[in-house]
Chains A and B, each alone.
Chain A
Amino acid sequence: MVVTFPHLGNTYIACKIMFDSLGIDYVIPPLSNKEALRIGAFHSPDEICLPFKIMIGNYIQSIEKGADTVIIVGSCGPCRLGEYCELQMSVLKNLGYQVKFIVVDYPGEIGIKELASRIGYISNQSHKKKIEKLRALYRAVKAIRLMDYIEQSARMIAGYEINRGECKRLLLQCRDRVFNESDPSKALKILKSYKAKLSKIPIDKKRKPLKIAIVGEIYTNIESFANHFIEDTLMDYGIATYKSLSPSWWLKYTGLKVLKLHAVRARLAAKQYLKYEVGAYAKETVGEAVLAYERGYDGIIHLLPVGCMPEIVSKSILTSIAKEKDIPIMTLLFDEMTGEAGYLTRIEAFIDLLERRRRDHVLSWR
């Protein structure tokens, strides 16, 4: 068995560590790129959303490299809109790929037993002892939390760094190095060392950088390729960026959902604006926007891909939040046409807007 899985931010790092520990063969698809999108868009239904297409591209690129078992995250994955994973399976089946699918789903949907048996199937492929298997899982969770922590901090510290570009370099280097390490315990050591390095980056605490919060559709938030690497761009401009969505956020969310304790703060904050579930994570989007306002962010960028329905709902609510709370919110809609320049212009103009607003406030305060 050679397993593969779609990309979602840093998850590939955790998966790699897990499969390396379990001794299971795997193929990691090439990092999502234009080619993956092209392949995915070609084989997917036209009107389906962008994340679907990129993931199909990931699967196919992996299958071509020898993967025969595809792990799909079920309806609890990026979207709860109906038959996402069934549709993906049928696309791949129709293409004639003889692969096995393992759908890992939220236990509420398929029951704990079924989930256990599906995971059991994967784990039976490993000849390691049970304790080793548990350790593999533990390492994977640890790795994703470390990597997400490093990324989140680097994006924030970038606003305060004294040597421009240092945070970005460190982040890219860290990803590169863990990825090229096949010994799981060494990989974890690398992550820890980068966490330490990050805390030693010289910063100017007195700087008051612009602070921007990123909210919106979960896949577009987490998979940088889908948002044209917006956070890297913001780092280049010396902006402190915060984004709550990450693979580890999702793990926690899905785990706590069993107890109905998921994303309590954000969901409470959203209550006033959005009383009903509209699918996916629209409620969290709205809630995070309100929290960002309360935490004193200068502005909010809302990301959604073309063809995404749940986030259209949050978009209209965000418009009224922007007015009511007087906080600038920019919505960026991502599609298959990779027109880089248009996004850059919008991001730059948004930064200018925030800067001038701030300067203005300072002037009137004087």
Chain B
Amino acid sequence: MYYLGVDVGSVSTDIVVLDEKLNVYDQVYLRTKGRPIEAIQRGFKQLKNKYKDKEVRAIGTTGSGRGITSFILGADCVKNEITAHAMAGVYYDKEVKTIFEIGGQDSKIILLNQGVVTDFAMNTVCAAGTGSFLDRQAERLGIPIEEFGNYALKSKLAVRIAGRCAVFAESDMIHKQQLGYDSADIIKGLCEALARNYLNNVGKGKDIQPKVFFQGGVAANIGIKEAFEKILGFEIFVPKYYNVMGAIGAALLAKETVESKRCKTNFKGFDISDHVFITNSFQCKDCPNECEVVRILDGEVEIGCFGDRCGKWNQKSHIKSS
């Protein structure tokens, strides 16, 4: 028996399979490339031959594409990223008080008290410090992203980089590079700038208590972890499955939903990868709201519809389960 969790972000899509004991049994990582439905279909194609439909006991979705993909998959639980990340963090360690999550596109901070979220903040505007930004810098310096963190560790003295904003950080780095600074020192400087930037923006005014979990793709970067530790003065923990915590959270939440409702899963089966899904959108002109209404068709059948404020296009869609 398995529980599936799907985290559909704008950059990447993760699928995890948890076994009966809730251990991570399998995981798939995909690039979303702005087409969440296709990403999901590619992912399930990979899983199709390994598992049977009836072995799935629950499935949950999270991430910015959670809504769209839930229609396709028949998700039992559709949850926001904050709740999903918190759920997974607490599952691995009940003592967690703070979660830093830095992914490809955005960053979050979550504060918890005895396993319950008490406060959170999200930054979707500033790109400095997100995974995509780091990828670009690594590429520019000609260093594989996996090595990025290790480089920072080699440095003894960080170069100070202005990290308040992605544009400044980038031009400042180029400038320091031209001045002939050592790459390692620049990278270390960048890591410190990004950690400071995160704490001053997303973490602004938050009471950051240990134990801190560092989740999301950027947690792979040991240089940033160290920079956090240096600034905060205590150890930061990177959980083993740091880069799929959202998906794990979604799977755990789906399990909880199915169990508390004592119902069967709505999972539509692995062969969704063979279906042809069509999404079309149109602008409703019936009132000044001019909603962008999106419809998802499985062949000829409409399986989902959203975007209408008044609910006139889909009476069901405006009754959500939070």
**Interface positions of A (Cβ within 8 A of B):** 30-35, 164-165, 168-169, 172, 229, 232, 236-238, 319, 328, 337, 339, 341-342, 344-346, 348-349, 351-353, 355-357, 360
Selected A-B contacts with CB under 8 Å, 11 pairs: A33-B288, A33-B290, A34-B290, A164-B319, A165-B318, A237-B322, A348-B79, A352-B82, A352-B83, A352-B322, A360-B116
Interface SS of chain A: helix
Q: Is B146 an interface residue (CB 8 A)?
A: no
* Nearest opposing residue in chain B for A29, CB measure: B288
* Residues from chain B with Cβ under 8 Å of A341 in the complex: 64
B287 near A349 with CB under 8 A, answer no
Q: Which chain A positions have C-beta within 8 A of B125? A: 337
Residue contact B319 to A348, C-beta cutoff 8 Å: no
Residue of B nearest to A359 (CB): B116
Contacts of A33 in B (CB 8 A): 288-290
Q: Which of A31, A32, A168, A237 contacts B311 (CB 8 A)?
A: A168
Q: Which residues of A contact B289 (CB under 8 A)?
A: 31, 33
Given A34-B290, A360-B114, decide whether A352 and B80 contact each other with a Cβ distance below 8 A.
yes
B288 with A31: CB separation less than 8 A: yes
A356 touches B116 (CB 8 A): yes
- Report chain A residues within 8 Å CB of B122: 342, 345-346
- B116 contact set on A, CB distance < 8 A: 353, 356-357, 360
Residues of A within 8 A of B83 (CB): 348-349, 352-353
* A residues less than 8 Å from B318 (CB atoms): 165, 168, 236
* Residues in A neighbouring B80, C-beta threshold 8 A: 344-345, 348-349, 352
- CB-defined contacts of B290 to chain A, threshold 8 Å: 33-35
| Interface check B237, CB cutoff 8 A | no
Tell me, rounded to whole Å, the shortest Cβ–Cβ distance linking B87 to chain A: 9
Q: Would you list the 7 A-B pairs with minimal beta carbon distance, nearest first?
A: A349-B82, A348-B80, A30-B288, A31-B288, A352-B83, A237-B322, A345-B80
On whether the beta carbons of A348 and B322 are closer than 8 Å, the reply is: yes
- Bound CA span A274–B290, Å: 41
Q: Is the CB of B117 within 8 A of A345?
A: no
Which residue of A30, A172, A337, A344 is within 8 Å of B310 (Cβ)? A172
Since A34-B290, A165-B311, A353-B118 are in contact, a sample of 5 more A-B pairs with Cβ atoms closer than 8 Å, ordered by chain A residue number, is A348-B80, A349-B80, A351-B322, A352-B83, A352-B322
- Smallest CB separation, A134 vs chain B (Å): 33
B106 to chain A, nearest CB (A): 8
Q: Is B124 an interface residue (CB 8 A)?
A: yes
Within 8 A of A (CB), among B83-131: 83, 114, 116-120, 122, 124-125
Q: Judging by beta carbons under 8 Å apart, are A169 and B319 in contact?
A: no
Verify B79–A352 contact, CB threshold 8 A: yes
Chain B residues numbered 285-322 whose CB sits less than 8 Å from any CB in chain A? 287-290, 309-311, 315, 318-320, 322
Q: Provide the residues of chain A in CB contact with B233, threshold 8 Å.
A: none
User: Is there a chain A Cβ closer than 8 Å to B192's Cβ?
Assistant: no
Chain A residues with Cβ under 8 A from B114's Cβ?
Answer: 360
Q: Which of B36-87 contact A (CB under 8 A)?
A: 64, 79-83
Question: How far, in whole Å, are A337 and B82 apart by their CA atoms in the complex?
Answer: 22
Confirm or deny: B205 has a beta carbon within 8 angstroms of a beta carbon on chain A: yes
Contacting residue for B117 out of A236, A238, A356, CB 8 A: A356
Q: Is the CB of A349 within 8 A of B117?
A: yes
Q: How far is the CB of A34 from chain B (nearest CB, A)?
A: 7
Are B117 and A353 touching (Cβ within 8 A)?
yes
Cβ contact within 8 Å between B287 and A236? no
A164 to B320, CA, bound (A): 10
Cα A345 to Cα B82 in complex, Å, equals: 8
Q: Known: A31-B287, A34-B290. Is A165-B319 also a contact (CB below 8 A)?
A: yes
Kindly report which residue of chain A lies nearest to residue B81, judged by CB atoms.
Answer: A345
The residue on A at minimum CB distance from B63 is A345
Chain A residues positioned under 8 Å from B120 (CB to CB): 346, 349, 353
Complex-state Cα separation, A31 to B288, whole angstroms: 6
Give CA–CA (A137, B272) in the complex, Å.
Answer: 62
Instruction: Name the A residues within 8 Å of B320 (CB-CB).
Output: 236-237
- Bound-complex Cα distance A168 to B289 (A): 16
CB nearest neighbor in A for B64: A341
Cα of A346 to Cα of B122 in the assembled complex, Å: 8
> Within 8 Å CB of A237, what residues of B?
320, 322
A210 to chain B, nearest CB (A): 9
From B79, B116, B122, name the one whose CB has the most chain A CB atoms within 10 angstroms.
B116
- A349 cross-chain contacts in B, Cβ below 8 A: 80-83, 117, 120
Bound Cα distance from A164 to B80, whole angstroms: 22
Which residues does chain A contribute within 8 Å of B319, judged by CB atoms?
164-165, 236
Cβ contacts under 8 Å, B315 to chain A: 165
Q: How far is the CB of B319 from chain A (nearest CB, A)?
A: 5
Nearest CB of chain A from residue B205's CB, rounded to whole Å? 6
Say whether B79 contacts A328, CB under 8 Å. no
Q: Would you list which residues of chain B between 193 and 210 have a CB under 8 Å from chain A?
A: 205
Inter-chain CA distance A164–B311, complex, in Å, is 12
- Inside 8 A of A238's CB, which chain B residues have their CB? 322
Minimum distance in angstroms from A156 CB to a CB of chain B: 18
